[in-house]
A and B are shown apart, each in its own frame.
Chain A
């Protein structure tokens, strides 16, 4: 009895030591991912893989991490990408309800969609099927908005007019159904870019950019470039003086150190509008919202 108790205790101890070691190895591997040191991260994920008795959560984390490293390690090669694709597939097959499963589908879509090495040919049809699976199988996850964005992108990036229009319509439709989604500002900004080039539908482009601004620009250091674009489209492509004045004024008031601020002032003078004084006080700068 005592021997059995001792033996059980020792085995449990070893199990927990191994599990803790594996958990620490996986944590260290993710730390290396944060440091962009994917080669070292892969070594650690492979080390953790050799441990027995990993919990399902650790299994998923380890396999996902390994697939991610193979996917993103440079230089990209056909062999490593195929391995990554297969591991992502296995995670979806073995752990379909895990938190990583939708991201695995998404990453498989990216492997299909992007050209990773010389000779690699994007497979847009496969990418679209994978993104559509996310929309169908994980309808309540936040990732569906990214999947919708990529689905639209897979049409737009062919630059075939019919496909571009289809992609733009898909994106607009998604925004109408999900106006407050987490990626709405990115979607509007992208839509604006698409309407600008190649569609050259400037009124739609202007509306899309203004919608992006209304929600809040994703890159807080880059509003100036968006406002500049809006103001120039309004003035020089659509003859919309009011919108042009509004956005040139915003550049002058909210971005005193932006490289185009002086030019914005000149444009306001040409338009006969009031030109705000250069304002480096806290009131002027606090007017900018950081979203």
Chain B
């Protein structure tokens, strides 16, 4: 009897609790007196959700009639979850762009179908920047990438603005530096870097320690490659950039090779490769078969004194490492040091795009609240607060990062272009293979140079083939622009349409005509260079 009463009491309690929860959740999610919006992302790491919650609470204080619910979905399921909700018209009001194929190139119709373009809105000032240097400045101009992070080429629309950004630098073990070299200050030049690496190797050998100067991997190698390729080969811009768009394209690089203006025997190109070999000599043997996680593990386990990775790893590295971590930029040779005369200048961080862009769901019941909330979180003050909470870098210009993240603030000073040798699947494959062999000391530079040039100049599979394939690819892009233009003009005539269709159709026309002209010019140039018509693919 006693047991029966207890069981009944437990059941009754559970039932009343469920009813209570159902009523309170119902009230929370469907309170008719409030404008409720939901914001979804996949950033489940420490700090992000708390930082977002903090901003949400601040916004709700200013707007008591609003309620914002944050939803975190794991990376693995984000895409499926999002697509399901988009097709069933139950998607959240604000969606973080990325982590799903609907945001990839080729899936533009999904973006056009499900998300609201904000091009008109971001051309206006952000009222939440009142009292700052950005008062009255178009919203788009208040982020370091000028809105590139949320811009979609296919229809020339902006879907949001970046909240945060990242850059890559070299992290180092300050305790180990102090112990081995007597100083824990950051490295300032290539010469200093090589000296420190030498000391680390000597220390490891003397103390029979499993310790390498720099934790290498495929992932970290590309960070060094990109930075130093710009630093060395941007000097060719003046000579090779024939269309004066500020970039040395693959076509322009290949034209330079075909005309003899640049090759692997060029002293600057050779210097770049030898420089990279000197860097790779500081990695562990066999580094190209090592993944990112392994190299990070080596660093935090005190088996590597340095590692190159992004600001996105700052929080996790400092929480895992039992030593003090410092950061410095990729060092260049100082005057008098080896390679100095071949370096053109510092590579710019300006090409980086911001991240954490939230798009407004087209069928949101409160789009005006969504846009206002986006203005709020991307304002200089709030973006700065958010980034400091998460341990990331704010995308807002002038926002102060945490002191330890100051070295990561993107620095737009520097050069932004570089030679791009490989232009076909075959030449890329050969070059990749030869580079790995050279960096591991298996072949000499002259062998690398000879084989890479042969692959590039191969009449059937080399860059000539890449040129033809690129022409076809660009022709399709130009046709896509023409399609957009046609649809915009038709919508103006018959469809009613929304937004500034006249302006958009003009931009689409300009894009199409420019792309088409440049592409047909590349075909003409092919004929002129090789004295034969470009084959049709």
Residues of A at the B interface (CB closer than 8 Å) are: 27, 30-31, 33-37, 61, 64-65, 68, 71-72, 99-100, 103, 107, 110, 114-116, 118, 146, 149, 153, 156-157, 159, 182-183, 186, 189-190, 193-194, 196-198, 218-221, 225, 228-229, 232-233, 236, 256-263, 280-282, 285-286, 290
Interface centre among B245, B489, B494 (most CB of A within 10 A): B494
Partner of A282, one of B137, B509, B511: B137
Partner of A110, one of B242, B415, B486, B520: B486
Give B135's nearest chain A residue, CB to CB: A282
A256 and B134 alpha carbons, distance in the complex (Å): 13
Q: In the assembled complex, how far is the CB of residue A105 from the closest CB belonging to chain B, in whole angstroms?
A: 13
Q: Is B473's beta carbon under 8 Å from chain A?
A: no
A218 and B504 alpha carbons, distance in the complex (Å): 9
Would A37 and B109 be within 8 Å (CB), given that A228-B244, A262-B348 are in contact?
yes
Would A68 and B486 be within 8 Å (CB), given that A30-B491, A34-B498, A282-B134 are in contact?
yes
In the complex, the answer to whether B245 meets A225 with C-beta atoms within 8 Å is yes
Which residues in B have their C-beta under 8 angstroms from that of A114? 479, 482
Q: Is B151's beta carbon under 8 Å from chain A?
A: yes
Q: Which one of B50-58, B142-150, B315-323, B335-343 is at the A interface? A: B142-150
Would A100 and B494 be within 8 Å (CB), given that A218-B507, A257-B397 are in contact?
yes
In the complex, the answer to whether A233 meets B496 with C-beta atoms within 8 Å is no
Known contacts A149-B513, A194-B517, A280-B133; 20 further A-B pairs (Cβ under 8 A): A30-B494, A30-B495, A35-B112, A35-B113, A36-B108, A64-B490, A71-B486, A72-B486, A103-B493, A114-B482, A118-B536, A157-B520, A186-B509, A196-B243, A218-B510, A225-B246, A233-B244, A257-B143, A258-B350, A282-B135
Q: Is B372's beta carbon under 8 Å from chain A?
A: no
Which residues in A have their C-beta under 8 angstroms from that of B536? 118
A61 and B494 alpha carbons, distance in the complex (Å): 6
Partner of A35, one of B109, B244, B489: B109
Give A232's nearest chain B residue, CB to CB: B244
A133 and B236 alpha carbons, distance in the complex (Å): 48
A27 and B491 alpha carbons, distance in the complex (Å): 11
Q: Is B483's beta carbon under 8 Å from chain A?
A: yes
In the complex, the answer to whether A259 meets B348 with C-beta atoms within 8 Å is yes
Q: In the assembled complex, how far is the CB of residue A154 from the closest CB belonging to chain B, in whole angstroms?
A: 11
A151 and B451 alpha carbons, distance in the complex (Å): 47
In the complex, the answer to whether A34 meets B495 with C-beta atoms within 8 Å is yes
Q: In the assembled complex, how far is the CB of residue B396 from the closest CB belonging to chain A, in whole angstroms?
A: 11
Q: Mark B130-170, 1 if CB is under 8 A from A, else 0.
A: 00011111101101111100010000100000000000000
Partner of A107, one of B351, B475, B486: B486
A182 and B144 alpha carbons, distance in the complex (Å): 32
Q: In the assembled complex, how far is the CB of residue B381 from the closest CB belonging to chain A, in whole angstroms?
A: 15
Which residues in B have their C-beta under 8 angstroms from that of A33? 487, 490-491, 495
Interface centre among A68, A182, A232 (most CB of B within 10 A): A68
Q: Is B30's beta carbon under 8 Å from chain A?
A: no
A259 and B506 alpha carbons, distance in the complex (Å): 25
Q: In the assembled complex, how far is the CB of residue B153 from the closest CB belonging to chain A, in whole angstroms?
A: 11
Which residues in B have their C-beta under 8 angstroms from that of A103? 489-490, 493
In the complex, the answer to whether B246 meets A260 with C-beta atoms within 8 Å is yes
A146 and B492 alpha carbons, distance in the complex (Å): 15
In the complex, the answer to whether A221 meets B147 with C-beta atoms within 8 Å is yes
Q: In the assembled complex, how far is the CB of residue A229 from the closest CB belonging to chain B, in whole angstroms?
A: 5
A236 and B348 alpha carbons, distance in the complex (Å): 23
In the complex, the answer to whether B245 meets A257 with C-beta atoms within 8 Å is no
In the complex, the answer to whether A183 meets B509 with C-beta atoms within 8 Å is yes
Q: Is B524's beta carbon under 8 Å from chain A?
A: yes
Among all A-B residue pairs, the 7 with the closest Cβ atoms: A30-B495, A36-B109, A35-B113, A159-B524, A259-B350, A229-B244, A282-B137
Which residues in B have their C-beta under 8 angstroms from that of A259? 246, 348, 350-351, 412, 416
Which residues in B have their C-beta under 8 angstroms from that of A256? 397
Which residues in A have their C-beta under 8 angstroms from that of B292? none
A116 and B483 alpha carbons, distance in the complex (Å): 11
A286 and B493 alpha carbons, distance in the complex (Å): 34
Q: Is B174's beta carbon under 8 Å from chain A?
A: no
Which residues in A have their C-beta under 8 angstroms from that of B490? 33, 64-65, 68, 103
Which residues in B have their C-beta under 8 angstroms from that of A31? 495
Partner of B136, one of A36, A107, A115, A286: A286
A290 and B415 alpha carbons, distance in the complex (Å): 27
Q: Is B47's beta carbon under 8 Å from chain A?
A: no
Give B143's nearest chain A residue, CB to CB: A257
In the complex, the answer to whether A100 meets B493 with C-beta atoms within 8 Å is yes
Which residues in B have their C-beta under 8 angstroms from that of A233? 244
The A contact surface, by secondary structure, is: helix
In the complex, the answer to whether B506 meets A186 with C-beta atoms within 8 Å is yes
A282 and B397 alpha carbons, distance in the complex (Å): 12
Give A279's nearest chain B residue, CB to CB: B133
In the complex, the answer to whether B151 meets A221 with C-beta atoms within 8 Å is yes
A103 and B191 alpha carbons, distance in the complex (Å): 66
In the complex, the answer to whether B141 meets A257 with C-beta atoms within 8 Å is yes
Which residues in A have their C-beta under 8 angstroms from that of B350? 257-259, 261-262
A130 and B348 alpha carbons, distance in the complex (Å): 49
Q: Is B414's beta carbon under 8 Å from chain A?
A: yes
Partner of A197, one of B242, B398, B498: B242
Give B351's nearest chain A residue, CB to CB: A259
Which residues in A have their C-beta under 8 angstroms from that of B285? none
A31 and B113 alpha carbons, distance in the complex (Å): 10
Would A36 and B487 be within 8 Å (CB), given that A30-B494, A197-B521, A259-B350 are in contact?
yes
Q: Mark B512-536, 1 if CB is under 8 A from A, else 0.
A: 0110111011011000000000001
Q: Is B413's beta carbon under 8 Å from chain A?
A: yes
A27 and B146 alpha carbons, distance in the complex (Å): 36
Partner of B123, one of A61, A68, A149, A290: A290
5 pairs, CB–CB < 8 Å, chain A vs chain B? A186-B506, A218-B507, A219-B510, A228-B244, A281-B133
Which residues in B have their C-beta under 8 angstroms from that of A218? 506-507, 510
Give A157's nearest chain B residue, CB to CB: B520
A115 and B474 alpha carbons, distance in the complex (Å): 12
Which residues in B have their C-beta under 8 angstroms from that of A193? 514, 517-518
Q: Mark B465-506, 1 if CB is under 8 A from A, else 0.
A: 000000000010001001100110111011111100000001
In the complex, the answer to whether A190 meets B245 with C-beta atoms within 8 Å is no
Which residues in A have their C-beta under 8 angstroms from that of B365? none
Give A98's nearest chain B residue, CB to CB: B493
Which residues in A have their C-beta under 8 angstroms from that of B145? 257
Q: Mark B96-122, 1 if CB is under 8 A from A, else 0.
A: 000000000000110011000000000
In the complex, the answer to whether A183 meets B146 with C-beta atoms within 8 Å is no
Would A258 and B146 be within 8 Å (CB), given that A110-B482, A193-B514, A282-B136 are in contact?
yes
Partner of A260, one of B416, B487, B494: B416
In the complex, the answer to whether A36 meets B146 with C-beta atoms within 8 Å is no
In the complex, the answer to whether B506 meets A182 with C-beta atoms within 8 Å is yes
A259 and B140 alpha carbons, distance in the complex (Å): 15
Q: Is B198's beta carbon under 8 Å from chain A?
A: no
Interface centre among B137, B141, B486 (most CB of A within 10 A): B141
Which residues in B have their C-beta under 8 angstroms from that of A149? 509, 513
Which residues in A have their C-beta under 8 angstroms from that of B348? 259, 262
In the complex, the answer to whether B496 meets A30 with C-beta atoms within 8 Å is yes
Q: In the assembled complex, how far is the CB of residue B332 from the closest CB belonging to chain A, in whole angstroms?
A: 15
Would A257 and B412 be within 8 Å (CB), given that A157-B517, A159-B521, A262-B348 are in contact?
yes
Give B242's nearest chain A residue, CB to CB: A197
A256 and B448 alpha carbons, distance in the complex (Å): 41
